[in-house]
Amino acid sequence: MSCVGEPSPPKLEGKLQTMGNALKVNWIKQDDGGSPIKHYLIRYRAKHVPDWKPEIRLPNGSEYVVLNSLDWNTEYEVYVVAENQQGKSQPGTLFFRTAAEPTAIPATLGSSCVTYTLASLMLSTLTLGAKPGLCLRVVPQHCSSH
């Protein structure tokens, strides 16, 4: 005869998304305590603040949530609780840090590339011993990032 009780905490895995300030949290259902899971409750917060973000409630069958618009370069903690008819599990926990905020490409990058190209062009003209009155047409080119 088996006992019906609260579910076991879900096992959590996190993956930072491409943009760097979003995290996909997957959970793996553990023992349901003999009663079907009704839903999952997700709470998260930046570790340096006391307040949790509003709780997210997802139905049974859900396997992940994506936390978007997180603060850059910040440590977070995530709790996921499974709930069945008998009650709530202990939280599955996950700690992670978001990426550092990407820096904008300076506007001078393009012009310094053109300047460099122009300087190279002038240097090669001097090296070749250009004739007086020679007219050069400089066509700006796009720099490729390395």
In a domain, residue 84? The reply is yes
In a domain, residue 145? The reply is no
CA 38 vs CA 78, 88, 135: distances in Å: 20, 10, 78
In a domain, residue 135? The reply is no
In a domain, residue 116? The reply is yes
| Residue-by-residue pLDDT tens, the chain, 146 positions | 457 899 999 999 999 999 899 999 999 999 999 999 999 999 999 999 999 999 999 999 999 999 999 999 999 999 999 999 999 999 999 999 999 998 865 555 444 444 333 433 343 434 444 444 444 444 444 545 55
In a domain, residue 141? The reply is no
Give the CA radius of gyration of the chain. 28
* pTM as predicted: 0.69
In a domain, residue 138? The reply is no
In a domain, residue 13? The reply is yes
* Cβ atoms of residues 10 and 92 within 8 Å: yes
Residue 30 belongs to domain with CATH number: 2.60.40.10
State the residue range of the domain holding 122.
1-129
In a domain, residue 86? The reply is yes
Q: How many structural domains does the chain have?
A: 1
